[in-house]
């Protein structure tokens, strides 16, 4: 008996060693850290220390455009390769990395669907709702929440020469985006701005969960185990009183009401989803994704852009002068319209530069090489390999953005011309992905950006500001 157990263990060890060697050899021709050929532990440790985007950028700068970061994992900072992977007819598919992003572990959403046919079908049903063509009040909803944000600042956080009232812009920016997207998704805001508090401790719990979610995404097998019916009880559920749980409960409640026989036809995003064929479970899943994905990424950009405006006095002054002139020439309404904001060149440069230096989605977003393999940078990459994006290296590329790509300088967007400007624009657009994977909420996000800087998942905390009226500030 002892001999049989020994033979079995010896066979398992031998099989493991041979598999490890085979796996290492598959991608041994791709440059990268030696240990990455055997384990993803290095990448996992960078995630736990919240350094992954910067670490991947360093690897890209050291090893080149295509880098091995795990036994079966590569990253690239080549925008042409990324566009080819995400093109409408690309044979690439989403990798297992996406499975960890399920908010409700029992249901996929348009972000986590890996089957291309299912993803295309789901996307076709939700795109009309995001386009605004069936939701005529979309821009008005954004304007309403901006007005509430300004009212909150004026009533509670307006400082004068005699009265100092600091405001955490990091929190207020996310209150704003959460209320915007919940108003658009469900027809009513969740009340973050009105209550001026972290409703359900959502932001607090989300911040604490980011590290865990990204770690789990590195090990898809772990994600599948946690989402199994045996361990699912430890994940967020609608009976929870804080965090993701209340959002799951609200989404299911709102959607259930829309599917009642006597329910009216609502002209909002959820109404559009239902009209175009989403069933009740799909509608719940998609509306929940809207809140989480739409609020965090937009809030990150708003914080980043504002931080860079305030810490660069020349940028602040140029943007203020452009806005003042547009108001004087009656080119900007009150509240400002999305179309009007798009006509302000320096504002557009400020926003694009903010997106570029701190891309809101900095995870790997790994795609799977098709079964027949592919050739990248002259190297054959076997089918099944996972290829992700080195986001920071991509958007701080000196070849694309110039020798000072590491600094925030909006003027680069006004100085560039022709082919260079086109390449810069097409690369920064990759922040919203491309082709069959382009973010459906891109238009909503830009609408928020085009309005908020005139009117008034990165972890950005304690972004405290002193806000005052311009005339009072000059006289004090």
DSSP character string of 1-38: -HHHHHHHHHHHHHHHHHHHHHHHHHTTTS-S-GGGGT
Element containing residue 413 per DSSP (H, E): helix 412-415
| CB burial readout 414-425, b (16+ within 10 A) else e | eebeeeeeebbe
Low-confidence ranges of the chain (pLDDT < 50): 457-458, 474-476
Residue 203's nearest CA partner among 425, 468, 463 is 463
What distance in Å separates the CA atoms of residue 255 and residue 352, rounded to the nearest whole number?
35
The tokens for 243 are 């965090």
Joined together, the tokens standing for residue 5 give 């157990």
| pLDDT given at position 211 | 77
| Beta-strand pair 93-94/374-376 | unpaired
Q: Given this model, what pLDDT does residue 196 score? A: 97
Half-sphere exposure of 298 (CA within 13 A, CB side): 31
Read off the tokens for 276: 């175009």
Q: How far apart are CA 187 and CA 137, in angstroms?
A: 10
The shares of helix, strand and coil residues in the chain, as percent rounded to the nearest 5, are 60, 5, 35
Please write the tens of the pLDDT for every residue from 274-296.
999 999 999 999 988 888 888 88
C-alpha to C-alpha distance for 248 and 239, rounded to whole angstroms: 9
Asked if 448 and 154 touch (Cβ cutoff 8 Å), the reply is no
Q: Which helix (H) or strand (E) holds 155?
A: helix 138-156
Question: pTM of the prediction?
Answer: 0.91
- What is the model's pLDDT at position 10? 65
**Which domains are assigned to the chain?**
28-475 (1.10.630.10)
């Amino acid at each position: 008996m002892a001999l049989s157990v020994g033979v079995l263990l010896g066979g398992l060890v031998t099989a493991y060693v041979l598999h490890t060697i085979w796996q290492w050899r598959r991608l041994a021709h791709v440059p990268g850290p030696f240990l990455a050929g055997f384990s993803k532990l290095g990448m996992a440790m960078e995630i736990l220390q919240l350094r992954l985007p910067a670490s991947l950028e360093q690897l890209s700068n050291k090893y080149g455009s295509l880098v091995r970061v795990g036994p079966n994992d590569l990253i690239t900072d080549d925008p042409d390769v990324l566009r080819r992977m995400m093109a409408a007819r690309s044979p690439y598919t989403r990798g297992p990395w996406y499975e960890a992003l399920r908010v409700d572990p029992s249901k996929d959403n348009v972000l986590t669907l890996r089957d291309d046919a299912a993803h295309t079908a789901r996307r076709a049903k939700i795109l009309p709702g995001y386009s605004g063509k069936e939701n005529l009040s979309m821009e008005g909803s954004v304007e309403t929440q901006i007005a509430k944000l300004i009212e909150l600042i004026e009533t509670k956080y307006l400082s004068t020469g005699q009265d100092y009232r600091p405001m955490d812009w990091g929190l207020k920016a996310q209150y704003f985006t959460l209320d915007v997207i919940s108003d658009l998704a469900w027809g009513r805001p969740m009340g973050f701005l009105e209550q001026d508090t972290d409703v359900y401790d959502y932001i607090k719990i989300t911040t604490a969960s980011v590290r865990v979610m990204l770690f789990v995404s590195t090990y898809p097998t772990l994600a599948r185990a946690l989402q199994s019916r045996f361990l699912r009880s430890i994940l967020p559920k609608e009976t929870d009183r804080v965090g993701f749980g209340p959002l799951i409960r609200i989404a299911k409640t709102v959607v259930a009401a829309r599917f009642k026989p006597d329910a009216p036809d609502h002209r909002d995003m959820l109404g559009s989803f239902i009209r175009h064929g989403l069933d009740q479970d799909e509608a719940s899943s998609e509306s929940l994704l809207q809140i989480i994905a739409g609020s965090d990424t937009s809030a990150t950009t708003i914080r980043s852009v504002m931080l860079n405006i305030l810490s660069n006095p020349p940028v602040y002054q140029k943007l203020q002068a452009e806005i003042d002139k547009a108001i004087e020439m009656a080119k900007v309404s009150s509240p400002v319209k999305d179309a009007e904001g798009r006509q302000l060149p320096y504002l557009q440069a400020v926003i694009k530069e903010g997106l570029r230096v701190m891309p809101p989605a900095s995870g790997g977003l790994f795609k799977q090489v098709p079964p027949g393999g592919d050739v990248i940078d002259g190297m054959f990459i076997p089918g099944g390999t996972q290829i992700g994006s080195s986001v920071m290296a991509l958007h701080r590329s000196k070849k694309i953005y110039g020798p000072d790509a590491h600094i925030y300088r909006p003027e680069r967007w006004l100085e560039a011309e022709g082919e260079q400007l086109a390449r810069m624009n097409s690369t920064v657009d990759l922040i919203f992905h491309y082709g069959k994977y382009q973010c459906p909420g891109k238009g909503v996000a830009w609408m928020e950006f085009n309005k908020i800087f005139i009117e008034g998942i990165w972890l950005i905390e304690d972004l405290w500001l002193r806000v005052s009226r311009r005339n009072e500030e000059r006289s004090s």
